[in-house]
Structure 1
Amino acid sequence: MGMIGSPEINKVIRQILSPTLKENGFDKVNTRHNWGWKDNCIWVLDITAVGKYFSDVTGWSPMSVYVELGIYYDFVPPKDGEIKIGTKGELLPKAHQCQLQKQLYCSIKQSNYTNHFDNPAEQRRNDIWWIEPDGANIEEVLNEIKQSFLSVGLVWLIKYTDLVTAFKEIESEHDSFNKFYKARYFAEHLNDNLKFKEYCHLLEKERKRIDGLFS
Protein backbone atom coordinates (compact mmCIF):
# COMPACT_ATOMS: atom_id res chain seq x y z
CA MET A 1 0.00 0.00 0.00
CA GLY A 2 1.31 3.48 -0.88
CA MET A 3 1.60 6.59 1.21
CA ILE A 4 -1.61 8.11 2.45
CA GLY A 5 -2.32 11.78 1.72
CA SER A 6 -4.34 14.49 3.43
CA PRO A 7 -7.49 13.89 1.33
CA GLU A 8 -7.77 10.29 2.56
CA ILE A 9 -7.25 11.35 6.17
CA ASN A 10 -9.76 14.19 5.79
CA LYS A 11 -12.33 11.73 4.51
CA VAL A 12 -11.97 9.63 7.68
CA ILE A 13 -12.11 12.76 9.87
CA ARG A 14 -15.40 13.66 8.18
CA GLN A 15 -16.76 10.16 8.72
CA ILE A 16 -15.72 9.67 12.34
CA LEU A 17 -15.12 13.01 14.06
CA SER A 18 -17.14 15.65 12.21
CA PRO A 19 -20.60 14.24 13.13
CA THR A 20 -19.59 14.15 16.82
CA LEU A 21 -18.47 17.78 16.68
CA LYS A 22 -21.75 18.81 15.01
CA GLU A 23 -23.73 17.00 17.71
CA ASN A 24 -21.73 18.69 20.47
CA GLY A 25 -21.80 22.40 19.86
CA PHE A 26 -19.67 23.00 16.76
CA ASP A 27 -21.51 25.05 14.14
CA LYS A 28 -18.91 25.25 11.39
CA VAL A 29 -17.23 21.90 10.90
CA ASN A 30 -14.46 22.13 8.31
CA THR A 31 -12.61 18.84 8.78
CA ARG A 32 -9.40 20.11 10.38
CA HIS A 33 -10.67 23.54 11.50
CA ASN A 34 -13.87 23.68 13.51
CA TRP A 35 -15.75 26.43 15.32
CA GLY A 36 -18.75 26.81 17.59
CA TRP A 37 -20.26 30.13 18.66
CA LYS A 38 -21.60 30.46 22.21
CA ASP A 39 -22.55 34.02 23.19
CA ASN A 40 -19.18 35.70 23.85
CA CYS A 41 -17.20 32.49 23.33
CA ILE A 42 -15.94 30.80 20.22
CA TRP A 43 -15.01 27.14 20.54
CA VAL A 44 -12.13 26.05 18.34
CA LEU A 45 -10.80 22.59 17.50
CA ASP A 46 -7.83 22.35 15.14
CA ILE A 47 -6.23 19.16 13.86
CA THR A 48 -2.74 19.69 12.48
CA ALA A 49 -0.34 17.31 10.77
CA VAL A 50 3.22 17.52 12.12
CA GLY A 51 4.56 17.80 8.57
CA LYS A 52 7.73 16.80 6.79
CA TYR A 53 10.27 19.02 8.55
CA PHE A 54 9.15 17.93 12.03
CA SER A 55 9.11 14.35 10.78
CA ASP A 56 12.67 14.56 9.47
CA VAL A 57 13.92 16.03 12.74
CA THR A 58 12.05 13.80 15.20
CA GLY A 59 11.03 10.56 13.50
CA TRP A 60 7.26 11.05 13.80
CA SER A 61 5.49 10.17 10.56
CA PRO A 62 4.64 13.37 8.64
CA MET A 63 0.89 12.66 8.65
CA SER A 64 0.82 12.26 12.45
CA VAL A 65 -1.48 14.81 14.04
CA TYR A 66 -1.95 16.88 17.16
CA VAL A 67 -5.28 18.28 18.30
CA GLU A 68 -5.64 21.72 19.86
CA LEU A 69 -8.70 23.17 21.52
CA GLY A 70 -9.28 26.78 22.35
CA ILE A 71 -11.87 29.21 23.57
CA TYR A 72 -11.75 32.67 22.09
CA TYR A 73 -13.49 35.37 24.13
CA ASP A 74 -14.70 38.04 21.74
CA PHE A 75 -14.55 40.89 24.28
CA VAL A 76 -10.75 40.58 24.49
CA PRO A 77 -9.23 42.43 21.51
CA PRO A 78 -6.62 40.40 19.61
CA LYS A 79 -3.18 41.28 20.89
CA ASP A 80 -1.18 40.21 17.89
CA GLY A 81 -2.20 39.07 14.45
CA GLU A 82 -5.54 39.53 12.84
CA ILE A 83 -8.35 37.08 13.45
CA LYS A 84 -9.68 35.63 10.21
CA ILE A 85 -13.23 36.66 9.38
CA GLY A 86 -15.69 34.36 7.62
CA THR A 87 -18.09 35.20 4.80
CA LYS A 88 -20.88 36.08 7.25
CA GLY A 89 -18.60 38.37 9.25
CA GLU A 90 -18.03 35.72 11.92
CA LEU A 91 -14.67 35.43 13.68
CA LEU A 92 -12.65 32.32 12.81
CA PRO A 93 -9.76 32.24 15.28
CA LYS A 94 -7.11 29.54 15.26
CA ALA A 95 -6.62 27.56 18.46
CA HIS A 96 -3.30 29.28 19.19
CA GLN A 97 -5.03 32.68 19.03
CA CYS A 98 -7.46 31.72 21.79
CA GLN A 99 -7.14 33.16 25.29
CA LEU A 100 -7.54 29.69 26.79
CA GLN A 101 -6.00 26.68 25.08
CA LYS A 102 -5.81 22.97 25.65
CA GLN A 103 -4.24 20.03 23.87
CA LEU A 104 -5.79 16.61 23.66
CA TYR A 105 -3.63 13.64 24.59
CA CYS A 106 -3.32 10.23 23.05
CA SER A 107 -3.96 7.17 25.20
CA ILE A 108 -3.09 4.63 22.49
CA LYS A 109 0.18 2.87 23.28
CA GLN A 110 2.54 4.15 20.58
CA SER A 111 5.90 2.89 21.81
CA ASN A 112 6.16 0.39 18.95
CA TYR A 113 6.34 3.44 16.64
CA THR A 114 8.36 5.76 18.83
CA ASN A 115 10.90 3.58 20.66
CA HIS A 116 13.42 3.94 17.81
CA PHE A 117 13.44 7.76 18.07
CA ASP A 118 16.80 9.31 18.98
CA ASN A 119 15.31 11.77 21.44
CA PRO A 120 13.85 10.22 24.63
CA ALA A 121 11.50 13.20 25.04
CA GLU A 122 10.00 12.46 21.62
CA GLN A 123 9.62 8.79 22.59
CA ARG A 124 7.53 9.80 25.60
CA ARG A 125 5.30 12.34 23.87
CA ASN A 126 1.59 11.68 24.08
CA ASP A 127 0.32 14.89 22.48
CA ILE A 128 0.73 13.46 18.98
CA TRP A 129 -1.16 10.63 17.34
CA TRP A 130 1.04 8.49 15.11
CA ILE A 131 -0.54 7.88 11.71
CA GLU A 132 0.98 5.06 9.71
CA PRO A 133 2.40 6.27 6.39
CA ASP A 134 0.01 3.87 4.62
CA GLY A 135 -2.90 5.01 6.79
CA ALA A 136 -3.52 1.54 8.22
CA ASN A 137 -4.38 2.87 11.71
CA ILE A 138 -6.23 6.03 10.70
CA GLU A 139 -9.66 4.83 11.88
CA GLU A 140 -8.26 3.75 15.24
CA VAL A 141 -6.61 7.17 15.64
CA LEU A 142 -9.76 9.10 14.73
CA ASN A 143 -11.91 7.02 17.06
CA GLU A 144 -9.42 7.72 19.83
CA ILE A 145 -9.43 11.46 19.10
CA LYS A 146 -13.22 11.35 19.16
CA GLN A 147 -13.19 9.67 22.58
CA SER A 148 -10.61 12.12 23.88
CA PHE A 149 -12.76 15.00 22.67
CA LEU A 150 -15.89 13.61 24.32
CA SER A 151 -14.31 12.67 27.64
CA VAL A 152 -11.86 15.57 28.05
CA GLY A 153 -12.21 18.24 25.38
CA LEU A 154 -15.94 18.83 25.53
CA VAL A 155 -15.90 18.94 29.34
CA TRP A 156 -13.14 21.56 29.20
CA LEU A 157 -14.98 23.65 26.60
CA ILE A 158 -18.21 23.65 28.59
CA LYS A 159 -16.41 24.46 31.85
CA TYR A 160 -14.60 27.51 30.52
CA THR A 161 -17.54 28.85 28.55
CA ASP A 162 -18.60 30.05 31.97
CA LEU A 163 -16.90 33.44 32.07
CA VAL A 164 -16.41 33.57 35.84
CA THR A 165 -14.68 30.17 35.76
CA ALA A 166 -12.56 31.29 32.80
CA PHE A 167 -11.57 34.48 34.62
CA LYS A 168 -10.48 32.46 37.67
CA GLU A 169 -8.39 30.24 35.41
CA ILE A 170 -6.71 33.27 33.84
CA GLU A 171 -6.06 34.77 37.27
CA SER A 172 -4.35 31.54 38.32
CA GLU A 173 -1.82 31.75 35.46
CA HIS A 174 1.65 32.97 36.35
CA ASP A 175 2.06 36.72 36.16
CA SER A 176 2.84 37.99 32.70
CA PHE A 177 1.84 40.69 30.26
CA ASN A 178 -0.44 38.18 28.57
CA LYS A 179 -2.23 37.30 31.81
CA PHE A 180 -2.73 40.94 32.85
CA TYR A 181 -3.95 41.80 29.35
CA LYS A 182 -6.60 39.07 29.34
CA ALA A 183 -7.60 39.71 32.96
CA ARG A 184 -8.07 43.43 32.34
CA TYR A 185 -10.67 42.76 29.63
CA PHE A 186 -12.35 39.99 31.60
CA ALA A 187 -12.69 42.23 34.66
CA GLU A 188 -14.12 45.00 32.49
CA HIS A 189 -16.58 42.63 30.81
CA LEU A 190 -17.68 41.18 34.15
CA ASN A 191 -18.06 44.68 35.63
CA ASP A 192 -15.52 43.95 38.35
CA ASN A 193 -14.31 47.50 38.80
CA LEU A 194 -11.79 46.76 41.52
CA LYS A 195 -10.05 44.04 39.52
CA PHE A 196 -10.29 46.11 36.36
CA LYS A 197 -8.28 48.88 38.03
CA GLU A 198 -5.85 46.38 39.51
CA TYR A 199 -5.13 44.70 36.18
CA CYS A 200 -4.90 48.02 34.32
CA HIS A 201 -2.24 49.03 36.83
CA LEU A 202 -0.37 45.71 36.60
CA LEU A 203 -0.54 45.79 32.81
CA GLU A 204 0.89 49.30 32.66
CA LYS A 205 3.64 48.38 35.12
CA GLU A 206 4.54 45.28 33.10
CA ARG A 207 4.48 47.28 29.86
CA LYS A 208 6.96 49.77 31.35
CA ARG A 209 9.15 46.94 32.63
CA ILE A 210 9.25 45.34 29.17
CA ASP A 211 9.89 48.69 27.46
CA GLY A 212 12.77 49.22 29.89
CA LEU A 213 14.40 46.01 28.70
CA PHE A 214 14.59 47.34 25.16
CA SER A 215 15.44 50.98 25.79
Structure 2
Amino acid sequence: MVGSPEINKVIREILSPTLRENGFHKVNTRHNWGWDDHCIWVLDIAAVGVSFSDVTGWSPMSIFVELGIYYDFIPPREEIKISAKGELLPKTYQCDIRYDLSCNLDQSKYTKNFHNRAEKERNDIWWIQPDGSNIEEVINDIKQDFLHNGLKWLIRNSNLEAAYAEIEKEEDSYNKFYNAMYFAKHLNDNEKFDMYSKLLEQEQKKFD
Protein backbone atom coordinates (compact mmCIF):
# COMPACT_ATOMS: atom_id res chain seq x y z
CA MET A 1 0.00 0.00 0.00
CA VAL A 2 1.19 3.50 -0.83
CA GLY A 3 2.42 5.54 2.15
CA SER A 4 2.78 9.19 3.10
CA PRO A 5 6.37 9.52 1.74
CA GLU A 6 5.24 8.69 -1.80
CA ILE A 7 2.29 11.08 -1.61
CA ASN A 8 4.40 13.84 -0.02
CA LYS A 9 6.95 13.58 -2.82
CA VAL A 10 4.28 14.35 -5.42
CA ILE A 11 2.86 17.19 -3.28
CA ARG A 12 6.32 18.77 -3.16
CA GLU A 13 6.76 18.39 -6.91
CA ILE A 14 3.35 19.69 -8.02
CA LEU A 15 1.63 21.75 -5.31
CA SER A 16 4.41 23.23 -3.16
CA PRO A 17 5.90 25.45 -5.93
CA THR A 18 2.42 26.84 -6.65
CA LEU A 19 1.93 27.73 -3.00
CA ARG A 20 5.30 29.50 -2.87
CA GLU A 21 4.37 31.51 -5.96
CA ASN A 22 1.04 32.56 -4.48
CA GLY A 23 1.54 33.96 -1.02
CA PHE A 24 2.76 31.06 1.11
CA HIS A 25 6.10 31.69 2.82
CA LYS A 26 6.53 28.56 4.93
CA VAL A 27 5.79 25.52 2.78
CA ASN A 28 6.10 22.24 4.67
CA THR A 29 4.40 19.79 2.30
CA ARG A 30 1.18 19.13 4.24
CA HIS A 31 1.26 22.19 6.54
CA ASN A 32 1.73 25.59 4.92
CA TRP A 33 1.52 29.22 6.07
CA GLY A 34 1.60 32.67 4.54
CA TRP A 35 1.64 36.05 6.29
CA ASP A 36 -0.27 38.97 4.77
CA ASP A 37 -0.42 41.97 7.09
CA HIS A 38 -2.91 41.01 9.83
CA CYS A 39 -3.85 37.74 8.10
CA ILE A 40 -2.17 34.36 8.39
CA TRP A 41 -3.02 32.00 5.55
CA VAL A 42 -3.08 28.29 6.32
CA LEU A 43 -3.34 25.27 4.02
CA ASP A 44 -3.39 21.81 5.60
CA ILE A 45 -3.54 18.44 3.83
CA ALA A 46 -4.59 15.42 5.87
CA ALA A 47 -5.32 11.75 5.25
CA VAL A 48 -8.73 10.46 6.29
CA GLY A 49 -7.09 7.62 8.23
CA VAL A 50 -7.93 4.01 8.99
CA SER A 51 -10.85 4.61 11.37
CA PHE A 52 -12.66 6.86 8.90
CA SER A 53 -11.89 4.38 6.13
CA ASP A 54 -13.37 1.48 8.10
CA VAL A 55 -16.61 3.36 8.70
CA THR A 56 -17.11 5.01 5.28
CA GLY A 57 -15.23 2.95 2.69
CA TRP A 58 -12.80 5.67 1.57
CA SER A 59 -9.25 4.41 1.13
CA PRO A 60 -7.24 5.33 4.26
CA MET A 61 -4.67 7.45 2.38
CA SER A 62 -7.41 9.53 0.71
CA ILE A 63 -6.93 13.19 1.54
CA PHE A 64 -8.81 16.39 2.20
CA VAL A 65 -7.49 19.95 1.98
CA GLU A 66 -8.51 22.76 4.32
CA LEU A 67 -7.76 26.46 4.03
CA GLY A 68 -8.05 28.96 6.84
CA ILE A 69 -7.31 32.54 7.74
CA TYR A 70 -6.24 33.53 11.24
CA TYR A 71 -6.60 37.26 12.03
CA ASP A 72 -3.90 38.32 14.47
CA PHE A 73 -6.07 40.99 16.13
CA ILE A 74 -8.55 38.36 17.38
CA PRO A 75 -7.27 36.83 20.64
CA PRO A 76 -6.78 33.07 20.31
CA ARG A 77 -8.90 30.80 22.47
CA GLU A 78 -6.09 28.30 22.88
CA GLU A 79 -2.31 28.34 22.60
CA ILE A 80 -0.95 28.61 19.05
CA LYS A 81 2.39 27.17 18.05
CA ILE A 82 5.17 29.70 17.43
CA SER A 83 8.12 29.10 15.11
CA ALA A 84 11.76 29.66 16.06
CA LYS A 85 11.48 33.01 14.24
CA GLY A 86 8.51 34.06 16.35
CA GLU A 87 5.88 33.44 13.64
CA LEU A 88 2.44 32.21 14.63
CA LEU A 89 1.69 28.80 13.09
CA PRO A 90 -2.03 28.12 13.58
CA LYS A 91 -3.71 24.92 12.44
CA THR A 92 -6.76 25.29 10.23
CA TYR A 93 -9.10 24.42 13.10
CA GLN A 94 -7.66 27.39 15.01
CA CYS A 95 -8.40 29.80 12.16
CA ASP A 96 -11.22 32.34 12.40
CA ILE A 97 -12.67 31.35 9.02
CA ARG A 98 -12.20 28.12 7.04
CA TYR A 99 -12.78 26.77 3.54
CA ASP A 100 -12.53 23.27 2.06
CA LEU A 101 -11.08 22.71 -1.39
CA SER A 102 -13.27 20.58 -3.66
CA CYS A 103 -12.50 17.60 -5.85
CA ASN A 104 -13.37 18.04 -9.52
CA LEU A 105 -12.55 14.48 -10.57
CA ASP A 106 -15.14 11.82 -11.31
CA GLN A 107 -14.67 9.44 -8.38
CA SER A 108 -17.86 7.45 -8.88
CA LYS A 109 -15.92 4.34 -9.83
CA TYR A 110 -14.44 4.33 -6.33
CA THR A 111 -17.52 5.39 -4.37
CA LYS A 112 -20.35 3.62 -6.24
CA ASN A 113 -20.47 0.75 -3.75
CA PHE A 114 -20.58 2.94 -0.63
CA HIS A 115 -23.62 2.23 1.56
CA ASN A 116 -23.97 5.84 2.70
CA ARG A 117 -25.34 8.10 -0.04
CA ALA A 118 -23.79 11.19 1.55
CA GLU A 119 -20.34 9.60 1.27
CA LYS A 120 -21.00 8.79 -2.39
CA GLU A 121 -21.85 12.40 -3.16
CA ARG A 122 -19.25 14.26 -1.13
CA ASN A 123 -16.58 16.17 -3.05
CA ASP A 124 -14.28 17.33 -0.26
CA ILE A 125 -12.14 14.17 -0.31
CA TRP A 126 -9.75 12.90 -2.98
CA TRP A 127 -9.61 9.12 -3.30
CA ILE A 128 -6.06 7.78 -3.47
CA GLN A 129 -5.64 4.30 -4.87
CA PRO A 130 -3.93 1.85 -2.49
CA ASP A 131 -1.19 1.33 -5.10
CA GLY A 132 -0.72 5.10 -5.53
CA SER A 133 -1.41 4.98 -9.27
CA ASN A 134 -3.53 8.15 -9.28
CA ILE A 135 -1.51 10.39 -6.96
CA GLU A 136 -0.38 12.81 -9.69
CA GLU A 137 -3.95 13.18 -10.97
CA VAL A 138 -5.15 13.95 -7.43
CA ILE A 139 -2.47 16.52 -6.61
CA ASN A 140 -2.93 18.25 -9.97
CA ASP A 141 -6.66 18.54 -9.27
CA ILE A 142 -5.94 20.00 -5.82
CA LYS A 143 -3.57 22.49 -7.44
CA GLN A 144 -6.21 23.57 -9.95
CA ASP A 145 -8.94 24.03 -7.34
CA PHE A 146 -6.53 26.03 -5.18
CA LEU A 147 -5.72 28.35 -8.09
CA HIS A 148 -9.31 28.71 -9.31
CA ASN A 149 -11.15 28.89 -5.99
CA GLY A 150 -8.99 28.63 -2.88
CA LEU A 151 -6.61 31.47 -3.73
CA LYS A 152 -9.52 33.77 -4.59
CA TRP A 153 -11.13 32.94 -1.24
CA LEU A 154 -7.90 33.76 0.61
CA ILE A 155 -7.44 37.06 -1.22
CA ARG A 156 -11.08 38.09 -0.82
CA ASN A 157 -11.10 37.41 2.91
CA SER A 158 -7.78 39.13 3.46
CA ASN A 159 -9.68 42.34 2.74
CA LEU A 160 -10.73 43.05 6.32
CA GLU A 161 -13.83 45.04 5.44
CA ALA A 162 -15.05 42.27 3.14
CA ALA A 163 -14.29 39.57 5.72
CA TYR A 164 -16.09 41.58 8.42
CA ALA A 165 -19.17 41.87 6.18
CA GLU A 166 -19.19 38.09 5.65
CA ILE A 167 -18.90 37.41 9.37
CA GLU A 168 -21.84 39.70 10.04
CA LYS A 169 -23.95 37.60 7.63
CA GLU A 170 -23.35 34.44 9.65
CA GLU A 171 -26.05 32.93 11.82
CA ASP A 172 -26.02 34.42 15.30
CA SER A 173 -23.72 32.49 17.62
CA TYR A 174 -21.04 32.95 20.24
CA ASN A 175 -18.36 32.50 17.57
CA LYS A 176 -19.91 35.15 15.30
CA PHE A 177 -20.26 37.71 18.10
CA TYR A 178 -16.71 37.03 19.32
CA ASN A 179 -15.13 37.53 15.90
CA ALA A 180 -17.35 40.46 14.93
CA MET A 181 -16.57 42.26 18.18
CA TYR A 182 -12.83 42.14 17.56
CA PHE A 183 -13.24 43.07 13.90
CA ALA A 184 -15.29 46.08 14.96
CA LYS A 185 -12.64 47.05 17.49
CA HIS A 186 -9.83 46.71 14.94
CA LEU A 187 -11.74 48.71 12.32
CA ASN A 188 -12.74 51.40 14.85
CA ASP A 189 -16.43 50.68 14.41
CA ASN A 190 -17.32 51.74 17.95
CA GLU A 191 -21.09 51.43 17.61
CA LYS A 192 -20.84 47.84 16.33
CA PHE A 193 -18.18 47.05 18.94
CA ASP A 194 -20.59 48.02 21.72
CA MET A 195 -23.41 46.04 20.09
CA TYR A 196 -21.39 42.86 19.63
CA SER A 197 -19.90 43.16 23.12
CA LYS A 198 -23.39 43.13 24.60
CA LEU A 199 -24.51 40.26 22.35
CA LEU A 200 -21.43 38.27 23.31
CA GLU A 201 -22.07 38.89 27.00
CA GLN A 202 -25.68 37.70 26.59
CA GLU A 203 -24.53 34.60 24.74
CA GLN A 204 -21.98 33.83 27.44
CA LYS A 205 -24.68 33.94 30.09
CA LYS A 206 -26.47 31.11 28.29
CA PHE A 207 -23.41 28.91 28.76
CA ASP A 208 -22.91 30.01 32.37
Q: TM-score range by the shorter chain?
A: over 0.9
Deviation string 1:11-57 (CA, Å, 9 cap, x unpaired) is: 00000000000000000000000000001000000001000100011
2-structure distance, mates of 1:170, 1:210? 22
2:41 matched to 1:43?
Answer: yes
Aligned to 2:132: 135
2:89 matched to 1:92?
Answer: yes
Secondary structure of 1:92's counterpart equals coil
Question: Can you give the 5+ residue segments of structure 1 that lack an aligned partner in the other structure?
Answer: none
- Compute the TM-score of the two structures, normalised by the length of structure 1: 0.96
Return the letter of the residue paired with 2:116: N
Deviation string 1:41-96 (CA, Å, 9 cap, x unpaired) is: 000000010001000111000000000000000000112x2111111111000111
User: Which among 186, 195, 205 is matched to residue 198 of structure 1?
Assistant: 195
Return the letter of the residue paired with 2:27: V
User: Which among 18, 21, 36 is matched to residue 20 of structure 1?
Assistant: 18
Return the letter of the residue paired with 2:69: I
User: Per-residue deviation at 1:208?
Assistant: 0.8
2-structure distance, mates of 1:96, 1:208? 25
Deviation string 1:92-134 (CA, Å, 9 cap, x unpaired) is: 0011111110001101000100011111111111100000011
Secondary structure of 1:85's counterpart equals coil
Equivalent positions of 1:167-186 (< 5 A) are: 167-186=164-183
2-structure distance, mates of 1:175, 1:118? 35
2-structure distance, mates of 1:176, 1:116? 38
2-structure distance, mates of 1:84, 1:204? 29
User: Which among 71, 74, 80 is matched to residue 72 of structure 2?
Assistant: 74
Return the letter of the residue paired with 2:31: H
Secondary structure of 1:68's counterpart equals strand
Question: Can you give the 5+ residue segments of structure 2 that lack an aligned partner in the other structure?
Answer: none
Secondary structure of 2:131's counterpart equals coil
How many matched pairs? 208
User: Per-residue deviation at 1:210?
Assistant: 1.9
User: Per-residue deviation at 1:209?
Assistant: 1.8
Return the letter of the residue paired with 1:172: K
Return the letter of the residue paired with 1:151: H
Q: Equivalent pairs: percent with the same residue?
A: 69
1-structure distance, mates of 2:131, 2:14? 18
2-structure distance, mates of 1:86, 1:56? 36
- Compute the TM-score of the two structures, normalised by the length of structure 2: 0.99
Aligned to 2:117: 120
User: Which among 8, 12, 15 is matched to residue 10 of structure 1?
Assistant: 8
Secondary structure of 1:34's counterpart equals strand
- The runs of at least 4 consecutive aligned structure 1 residues that moved more than 2 Å come to none
